Structure 1
């Protein structure tokens, strides 16, 4: 049984909006935390309430075991989200978060009969596509270089040895879970899927993005943004993404701006 304590542990509500017309559950990337989605919560409040997932092994959950398996993580999150399932929220995940969101959606559809209202998959290839990646076996120096290359963390933070030593085990554990994941066949989702990709993201090719259509009986749309893997940290893209979500979740909302 899910308790208030479980919810407090797993879900961050930066701008509570009990009367919101829609809700959006946001899943962070590898090494990321719920706070990554503060900007979106701020933009969408109060019409859309953001529920940001906090994975174990980071920040105030640092003492907990790291993520071991994507499917086990999704099962835990699905249990926590059940209280909101009378009116299913939409899901948004970036990178690893898109994969966790998808697997969470599959479990909720299986146990409740309904999946999320919509799925926004950012910076992640379709679950059924496979690459031979082994970053979880890289040296600490190689992992830091990868973080710098992706551009998701201010370089100044990576100059702090104590911070790096604290972050790397969690990041390595996340990579291990993602790189060992293999998609299990099953019924497709019914929700519309919107795939958000950076034009210079080495993590997602055009074909890998379009392959999300294999995983839903609903519509699939691929939208491109200038930039790399962390394109959504750019303010102009955040404005467009906020408008895009509003247009999809709120009837009568203004359409999202054209491609940036």
Structure 2
């Protein structure tokens, strides 16, 4: 599948779809790049659809650029790019940090008069339950980061097994952790369907975290889990893609109902 940068932040995987089709916008996890989600677009899009993937600065083809320092600023840039290049029905889907980013983008798109048909958050804590501490992240030494990478490798099955590779990955992960630690949500609940997905064995994002997303939308809400850890979807890519593809149908049947949405104001602590 071809990959083409439309802007520095927004890449298109595959060909442009039909203007009346669905545009799927995918956001990677912390430490990841657009290439980290390359397995999804070929199994996600149908004829006429478009796949757009977020490419964070400071890694991959943007490795010479400074890392992002604000999730809200990344979301604002992404929203502008999506309004320009996204056609037809919009669906946002992100894994872990990417899920939080999709929430932010959805709020901005709605304010811009271009609300998505739905948002899928995968293995992501809700905005008021991000538990990273700036001082702790800044104090982490190389040994701490190597341990973090080893734990992540156990979850993904992709070990970082050389010093050179670790030297490339650690600054990226540190920057993303700092961005998450400094993140403070600025928006209230969405008004679009939201689907929260996760793995039953995820040590970082539990079913309680997924259920807490209910307060962050006044639209249709559902949570769904499968066996597996934080990167559960690696063993069930087709299931994940089917869930993402279901969002336009959810939007069509939502009709402004608030099934599963209990929060009509800003959640406590935000």
TM-score, normalised with respect to structure 2: 0.82
In structure 2, how many angstroms separate the alpha carbons of the residues matched to 1:189 and 1:206?
20
Tell me what 1:128 maps to.
Answer: 128
**Whole-angstrom distance in 1 between the partners of 2:122 and 2:138:** 21
Q: Answer yes or no: is the 8 Å Cα contact 1:21–1:250 preserved in 2.
A: no
For structure 2, which runs of at least 5 residues remain unmatched after alignment?
A: 251-270
Name the structure 2 match of 1:230: 231
Could you tell me which residue of structure 2 aligns to residue 258 of structure 1? none
Residue 152 to residue 51, structure 1, CA distance change in 2 (3 Å): same
Distance 1:65 1:180 in 2: 17
Change (3 A) 1:229 1:247: same
Cα 1:192–1:137, aligned 2, differ >3 Å: closer, same or farther?
farther
TM-score normalized by the length of structure 1: 0.85
Q: Aligned-residue CA RMSD in angstroms?
A: 2.1
Residues in 2 aligned to 1:247 and 1:220: alpha-carbon distance in whole angstroms: 13
* Structure 1 residue ranges without an equivalent (≥5): 252-260
* Alpha-carbon distance in structure 1 between the residues aligned to 2:50 and 2:150: 32
Q: 1:219 to 1:24 in 2, by over 3 A?
A: same
Residues 1:241 and 2:240 aligned together? yes
CA distance in 1, matches of 2:43, 2:249: 14
Render the CA deviation track for 1:13-54: whole Å, top value 9, x for unaligned: 221142272111000011100012221101023343211110
The one-character-per-residue Cα deviations of 1:130-189 (angstroms, maximum 9, x if unpaired) are: 42543453222222222221323611xx122111111211110000000121223x3421
Aligned partners of 1:63 and 1:248: how far apart in 2? 36
Does 26-35 or 101-110 show the bigger shift? 101-110
2-structure distance, mates of 1:114, 1:9 = 21
8 Å CA contact retained: 1:88, 1:116: yes
